[in-house]
């Protein structure tokens, strides 16, 4: 199976990412974009944080990694797209990005 393209997240991805996090823990309250916009914008400007996403039907699938060491906090896939290798693809891309950024092994 060919995975969709994996790319760094953009400012415009915030609403879709908030929607996606409902699939991580359905019992958590869904944050409002207005309440998270400043923090999201700060992360998007950071040179030390990379949030990787894939797009499935225009819904971003976020995954985060940082350097010079890699920290993968959550890998979340929409329920309708699980079991297709998306998480594995994101982890490979995150590791490749970490190694290219000089992360320790």
On whether residue 105 sits in a domain, the answer given is no
Residue 55 and residue 76: Cα distance in Å, rounded? Answer: 12
Residue 22's domain comprises 6-100
The confidence score (pLDDT) of residue 58 equals 57
CATH number at residue 31: 3.40.630.30
- Residue 19 domain-assigned? yes
pLDDT for the residue 105: 57
- CB under 8 Å to 43, separation ≥6 — which residues? 49, 51
Q: What are residue 52's phi and psi, to 5 degrees?
A: -95, 145
- Tens-digit pLDDT string for the chain (105 aa): 676 788 888 999 888 888 887 887 778 777 777 888 999 999 899 888 888 888 765 555 554 443 356 677 788 888 898 899 988 998 989 888 888 877 765
* Residue 52, helix vs strand vs coil: strand
DSSP-derived secondary structure letter, 102: T
Give the global pTM: 0.57
Domain count, the chain: 1
């Amino acid at each position: 199976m060919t995975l969709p393209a994996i790319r760094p997240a953009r400012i415009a991805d915030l609403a879709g990412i908030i929607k996606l996090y409902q699939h991580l823990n359905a019992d958590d309250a869904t944050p409002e974009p207005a309440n998270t916009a400043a923090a999201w914008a700060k992360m998007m400007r950071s040179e030390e944080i990379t949030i990787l996403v894939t797009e499935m039907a225009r819904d971003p699938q976020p995954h985060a990694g940082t350097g010079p060491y890699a920290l993968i906090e959550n890998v979340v896939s929409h329920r309708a797209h699980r079991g297709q290798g998306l998480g594995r693809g994101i982890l490979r891309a995150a590791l490749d990005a970490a190694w290219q950024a000089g992360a320790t092994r």
